[in-house]
Amino acid sequence: MSKSKKHKERVLKTNQNDRAKKLPLKSILFMVIVIAIFGSALYLIISKSASLDPVDKDAIKMTITMAGFEPNVIRAKAGQPVTINLINPDNSHHTDGGGVHNFILESGGLGKVNITVQPESQDVFTFTPTLAGEYHWYCDSCCGGRENPNMHGTLIVA
Ligand SMILES: [Cu+2]
């Protein structure tokens, strides 16, 4: 066997060894990446749902989705402040309004309340109705907005 042939054989063997070593390393890398992706996805899901717990436990908890306000009737006393913790669990992938909702209430004695809640977030706001009566609030950012019968609520002030 000539010197150069031996050398070639050795090179070939080392190449095969390299390939044998690289394969498990690649699969380990792949597994690490898969675990990292699933891990961060799980973290995102958990942290998102946790962040949608109301931030103000003393406020009236209200959710707003494509299905409307829940609750859609609230009662108050004239001269007493009403604090609402409005939660919007819709995500930004909604084609109609981009998952944004709002709470608009314009009635006698109240001035104008106009709150916008971004997708997957919440807001706490306070207003004080001064006159007894029935007032209506609505959302005008989605599903036909004010024309949509779901996007309404009633404030009853005694
Ligand atoms: Cu809306």
Spacing, Cα 88 to ligand 1 middle (Å): 9
Token representation of residue 38: 């699933």
**SS in 3 state form for the chain?**
CCHHHHHHHHHHHHHHHHHHHHHHHHHHHHHHHHHHHHHHHHHHHHHHHHHCCCCCCCCEEEEEECCEEECCEEEECCCCCEEEEEEECCCCCCCCHHHCEEEEEEECCCEEEEEEECCCEEEEEEECCCCCEEEEEECCCCCCHHHCCCCEEEEEEC
Spacing, Cα 156 to ligand 1 middle (Å): 21
Spacing, Cα 51 to ligand 1 middle (Å): 20
Spacing, Cα 143 to ligand 1 middle (Å): 7
Distance CA 63, CA 156 (A): 18
Count other Cβ atoms within 10 Å, centred on residue 37.
10
Determine the average pLDDT of the residues in 13-31: 68
Determine the average pLDDT of the residues in 7-17: 56
Spacing, Cα 17 to ligand 1 middle (Å): 62
Instruction: Check whether 75 has a pLDDT greater than 80.
Output: yes
Q: What is the pTM of this model?
A: 0.68
Spacing, Cα 70 to ligand 1 middle (Å): 12
Least confident of 56-60, 91-95, 98-102, 103-107: 91-95
